[in-house]
Amino acid sequence: MADHRPGIRGGPICIPVYTPPMGSTGKLEPGGRLRELHPHFKTVWYAIDELELADIIKGEDDYGKPMSEDLKPDAHRLTKPAVKQVGLVRDFRKKWTEPSRRLWMAAVIGDWLLAHSLAMELGDKELIENTGIREKQCRDVRLAVVRDRSSRGYDWPFDLYALDELGASEVPRLVRERLHASGENSTYLATVTWQFIEASADARWLPEAFSFLKRLSTRRDCRSRLLVLRVAEYLCRFGHRVGDVLRLVSRHTA
């Protein structure tokens, strides 16, 4: 009888993209580590795409059939070459339970962000310096890849999330440009950009949000009305120019 356990003999693997994995929140657990590497979580598709390109997993639909390239799969399956390495993965996970091995093992698999974090916990200055250099190189390479894909129109609108995770300096400019874009898809572009601001749930974007509200207040369509209320709620939550916000909302709903 075939072994259909997830990931062992090529069985389906469900990858939760929009919600964190249940019961796996620590950075040293697979699901928790994935969540840490992708704080916005929507950007986990970058990792999935790379695993597919490396022929480690393949996407499939609800019926176990391969997915076309332009659709996101419902689940993934380990490829035949990857299944052959399951024994190595088991050995790795077994050794990973030993805290003394983790820093070295993180370095071996190229997780320099975790290696540097573990070095910081140890307080070893030489290790901190060496892993810190590799961590920066790792971030720089990732940022260059994301910037290249973003400039060519790939991954939109998730590119904002990925760039923000990496601390890209151009994120505020891109947010302003997309909130105030004009053209056929400008409303949709502004809406998904606003979703990015809402997801960040912090006060970084108050000036951009107020400017966006002023623009929205001049419109009368139903979609803009809903956005006005969402933007106003965000601004009032942080106590930003509440009087002006309420006046703009009143003008829009009059």
For tokens 């060496």, name the residue.
130
Q: Which residues contact 209 (CB under 8 A, 6 or more apart)?
A: 197, 231, 234, 235, 240
Beta bridge partners of 102: none
My answer on whether 5 and 76 are in the same domain is yes
pLDDT number for residue 120? 96
Model confidence, pTM: 0.76
pLDDT number for residue 200? 85
- Spell out, as residue ranges, where the chain has pLDDT lower than 70: 1-32, 60-75
Torsion of CA 205, 209, 210, 211, to 10 degrees: 110
pLDDT number for residue 197? 94
For tokens 């969402």, name the residue.
230
pLDDT number for residue 28? 47
Residue 32 CB neighbours (<10 A): 16
Cα 251 off chain centre by: 37
My answer on whether 220 and 233 are in the same domain is yes
Helix (H) or strand (E) holding 234: helix 222-237
My answer on whether 131 and 80 are in the same domain is no
My answer on whether 71 and 145 are in the same domain is no
Q: Which one of 97, 125, 149 terminates a domain?
A: 97
My answer on whether 1 and 62 are in the same domain is yes
My answer on whether 71 and 123 are in the same domain is no
My answer on whether 3 and 92 are in the same domain is yes
Q: Which one of 75, 97, 119 terminates a domain?
A: 97
Write out the residue range of the structural domain in which residue 216 sits.
Answer: 169-253
Q: Which one of 139, 167, 195 terminates a domain?
A: 167
My answer on whether 111 and 91 are in the same domain is no
pLDDT number for residue 19? 43
My answer on whether 192 and 145 are in the same domain is no
Instruction: Give the chain's domain count.
Output: 3
My answer on whether 18 and 86 are in the same domain is yes
94 close to 18: Cβ distance less than 8 angstroms: no
My answer on whether 4 and 42 are in the same domain is yes
My answer on whether 73 and 27 are in the same domain is yes
